[in-house]
Structure 1
Amino acid sequence: MTNRMHNFNAGPAALPAEVLRKAAAELEDYNGTGMSIMEHSHRGESYETVHYEAIATAKRLLGISDAYDILLLQGGASLQFAMVPYNLLAQGKKANYILTGSWSEKAKKEADHLGETYSGASGKDNHYSRVPDFDTIRTDATDAYIHLTSNNTIYGTAWQDFTRVSEWEAPVIADMSSDIFSRPLPVENFDLIYAGAQKNIGPSGVTLVIISKTLLEKTAAIAGDVPAILRYRTHAEKTSLYNTPPTFAVYMLKNTLQWIEANGGLQAMDARNREKAGRLYDAIDESDGFYRGHAHPSSRSNMNVTFTLPTEELTERFLEGAKNKGFSGLNGHRSVGGCRASIYNAVPLESCEALRDFMVAFQKKHQ
């Protein structure tokens, strides 16, 4: 296929070409069954094989021990904003939300409807241009849980290291929707991780949840009156087959995870993502201020590169010119403005190099 766009959309985002071709080849006849995987019963052997392969591959890639369960849910990260406090925010406790952008704000706002919360740190005063320094984050052993967002798509910032979160005494919860499976991850330092698939690991429609069995047991006393569909224990006990799962999204998740595994795993993804981001950050840093990165260098994301141009007029010209050259999804979020290149796992290095070349040429023409 030669007419593929350079896809920099923030999500739903680029999928690996090999995964798309595999899905196309199997769309009408999955594995010789004479039916699409979308047509198979979620109680049948064909789909169940896909379902459990997806879970097994995720465990292998992240090195997840038997101390954790993997759940395949629906509703995206937005539903998790509610499920987390429904299951973990006990009366008389406070949930601690570390604010690093719009998505962590939304997560806290949802929890505010269900109980008491506070913010142990916030980057709002610096317009979320950097992740708070670890030593400035206030936590307490009595916190119901501590919630962080690992990568901030709108602002282009990310946590660089998760080693010290193991020092926190309360359960640690992370929204990793936009960078999970992009780099190695110390899962053992977290009690619950959730991620909408539509950035790095598949299309929209399925949400991956990794939850420790110890934490899962604790939810029993808190979520007893919560509707069954909103309890983590419900889905763990039914191996994510309590209700009809998004079967095609799970199939695509499985194929995408196997693509990551076949292409060197998380170490290889990390090296490749750093190289891709480096091309774009070099173009920004070497532009003498023509391009200005929103994120402080110490907090730069390798998934979302955000930058502005000197004027709104130049920004519009840049985006129009980029569109004419076959680039898609470069508009910045309305709260930040400017431009954003989302360069998840499936975005090839060649697309980042093409964008870098366009940025250099545009600057020479308009500076």
Structure 2
Amino acid sequence: MTDYARGLSHEPPLKPERPQFSSGPTVKFPGWSLDKIKTASLGRSHRSKLAKGRLKYAIDLTRELLGVPDDYLVGIMPASDTGALEAAMWTMLDPARPATVAAWESFGNVWIQDAVKQLKLPNLQTLSADYGEIPDLSTIPQRNDVVFTWNGTTSGAMIPNTDWLEPGREGITINDATSAIFAMEMDWAKLDATTFSWQKVMGSEAQHGMLILSPKAVERIESYDPSWPLPKLFRMKKGDKINTGIFEGATINTPSLLATEDYIAALEWAKSIGGRQAMFDRANANANIVKDWIEAKPWLRNMVADPAQRTNTGVCMMFQGDWYESLSAEEQADVPKKVVAMLEERNVGYDFNGYRDAPPSLRIWCGGTVEQDDIQRLLPWIEWAYETVKNG
């Protein structure tokens, strides 16, 4: 890498074979192609026996791969992770009960705004932290309902454990796990509503979310009738009981069967390589390559200061050093933009710029569908581009 940095005209010799490093939608699994997608359900009613069977198969594979307890419900929801998470909030958060919403990046702050401005919860505690940090979750009362994001998609900060949630706590927990699940083990016993989207760690097509409910969550939904209007897309009850059909393949609205088949293909691939542990191992190996590289570069730092809180999916890094710090704020913001533009132009790496609301940064997706060789080939190019911008 040193040679590449010294000779600005000397580009690294190898490019990633798959230059997709976006943090969502993420790169398809290795070997993916259109002929891997089964098409018999396409053009069929989603209420047909065949289509419902495929939707149920996607649910069953999800349960199997994630190790979801038998008495939990797993369902497909509209509108991606956002739809699943907001459906949980709208149907489970009772204004008569105390609640906490904790956030440490962009999407968690959206859930805070939902609680404050939309649901207008009167007994609300909000906890927030800057990018790269996590608030003190131990201050959350155990009787409170709590909404939190397991892994900060836009900051790279994750919770290292669930010790701050007591077993058998009074309040319910609503967990946005979209950039964590399939990369980190979920502590199901402490989770009541868990949501994620197909286009994150599994690299599948967007627009559908998953909602996983504990028996405690089902009891809350059945016993509580919200005072606010519920859009049809959020309604999970028939009469006073949970609509179990949603969790057996009868979706609330029309799903994309093409996207469903793509998700199934990704699940079958994950199962074929060893299931969720193999996915964890792949993400850890990928992320360690990037984290070690960041530590070896004096002009970079991980956005997350605490190593125990550093994600193994969307690893975020920031520039530092005398040259960078001598720039104006506007010039600093241009550095990652220029680096990304140079590498996208050369078909080396796509969409690895930091999130638009985050501090100026780069973000490399390291989830299980990414290959180690591609990450290893990307990093010298980032160094080359940085040195080119610095000396240009």
Provide TM-score, normalisation by structure 2.
Answer: 0.81
Q: Which of 56, 59, 66 is residue 63 of structure 2 equivalent to?
A: 59
Residue 100, structure 1, aligned to residue 98, structure 2? no
Q: 1:363 to 1:245 in 2, by over 3 A?
A: closer
Any idea what the Cα deviations from partners look like across 1:293-321, whole Å, max 9, x if unmatched?
Answer: 21123321111111123344543442233
The 2-side partners of 1:338 and 1:65 are apart by 39
Q: Give 1:285 shift.
A: 0.7
Q: Give 1:88 shift.
A: 1.2
Q: Once structures 1 and 2 are overlaid, which stretch shifts more, 174-183 or 317-326? A: 317-326
Q: Which amino acid aligns with 1:131?
A: I
Indicate conservation of the 8 Å contact 1:102/1:154, yes or no.
Answer: yes
Q: 1:231 to 1:26 in 2, by over 3 A?
A: closer
Residue 250, structure 1, aligned to residue 243, structure 2? no
The 2-side partners of 1:94 and 1:115 are apart by 12
Residue 69, structure 1, aligned to residue 73, structure 2? yes
The 1-side partners of 2:59 and 2:262 are apart by 12
The 2-side partners of 1:220 and 1:285 are apart by 50
Secondary structure at the aligned position of 1:80 is classed as helix
Aligned to 2:191: 190
Q: Give 1:330 shift.
A: 1.4
Aligned to 2:3: none
Q: 1:261 to 1:299 in 2, by over 3 A?
A: same
Any idea what the Cα deviations from partners look like across 1:77-125, whole Å, max 9, x if unmatched?
Answer: 22234322321122322321112211111012112222415335321xx
Aligned to 2:5: none
Indicate conservation of the 8 Å contact 1:146/1:171, yes or no.
Answer: yes
Q: 1:54 to 1:340 in 2, by over 3 A?
A: same
Q: Give 1:164 shift.
A: 4.4
Secondary structure at the aligned position of 1:96 is classed as strand
Aligned to 1:114: 119
Q: 1:158 to 1:331 in 2, by over 3 A?
A: same
Residue 332, structure 1, aligned to residue 334, structure 2? no
Q: Give 1:325 shift.
A: 4.5
Residue 16, structure 1, aligned to residue 29, structure 2? yes
Residue 230, structure 1, aligned to residue 237, structure 2? no
Structure 1 alignment gaps of length 5 or more? 31-35
Q: Give 1:213 shift.
A: 2.8
Indicate conservation of the 8 Å contact 1:151/1:178, yes or no.
Answer: yes
The 5 A counterparts of 1:205-354 are: 205-223=207-225, 226-234=230-238, 236-238=243-245, 239-241=248-250, 242-288=252-298, 290-296=299-305, 297-309=307-319, 310=324, 311-312=332-333, 314-323=335-344, 324-335=346-357, 336-354=359-377
Indicate conservation of the 8 Å contact 1:291/1:308, yes or no.
Answer: yes
Aligned to 2:6: none
Any idea what the Cα deviations from partners look like across 1:222-246, whole Å, max 9, x if unmatched?
Answer: 2366455422335742234143223
The 2-side partners of 1:120 and 1:107 are apart by 10
Q: 1:233 to 1:344 in 2, by over 3 A?
A: farther
The 1-side partners of 2:249 and 2:368 are apart by 26
Indicate conservation of the 8 Å contact 2:148/2:176, yes or no.
Answer: yes
The 2-side partners of 1:224 and 1:338 are apart by 41
The 2-side partners of 1:230 and 1:147 are apart by 17
Indicate conservation of the 8 Å contact 1:157/1:295, yes or no.
Answer: yes
Aligned to 2:146: 146
Aligned to 1:132: 135
Any idea what the Cα deviations from partners look like across 1:258-304, whole Å, max 9, x if unmatched?
Answer: 2111111111111211111111111111112x112211233211111
Residue 80, structure 1, aligned to residue 89, structure 2? no
The 1-side partners of 2:295 and 2:273 are apart by 30
Q: Which amino acid aligns with 2:235?
A: R
Indicate conservation of the 8 Å contact 1:99/1:119, yes or no.
Answer: no
Q: 1:213 to 1:247 in 2, by over 3 A?
A: farther
As a proportion of its length, which structure holds more helix? 1
The 1-side partners of 2:184 and 2:154 are apart by 20
The 2-side partners of 1:193 and 1:340 are apart by 25
Indicate conservation of the 8 Å contact 1:158/1:300, yes or no.
Answer: yes
Indicate conservation of the 8 Å contact 1:193/1:211, yes or no.
Answer: yes
Secondary structure at the aligned position of 2:201 is classed as coil
Any idea what the Cα deviations from partners look like across 1:189-242, whole Å, max 9, x if unmatched?
Answer: 201101122112321021011001332122123236645542233574223414
Q: Give 1:26 shift.
A: 4.6
Q: Give 1:25 shift.
A: 5.1
Q: 1:185 to 1:3 in 2, by over 3 A?
A: closer
Q: Which amino acid aligns with 1:170?
A: G
Provide TM-score, normalisation by structure 1.
Answer: 0.86
Indicate conservation of the 8 Å contact 2:78/2:253, yes or no.
Answer: no
Q: Give 1:24 shift.
A: 3.0
Q: 1:85 to 1:184 in 2, by over 3 A?
A: closer
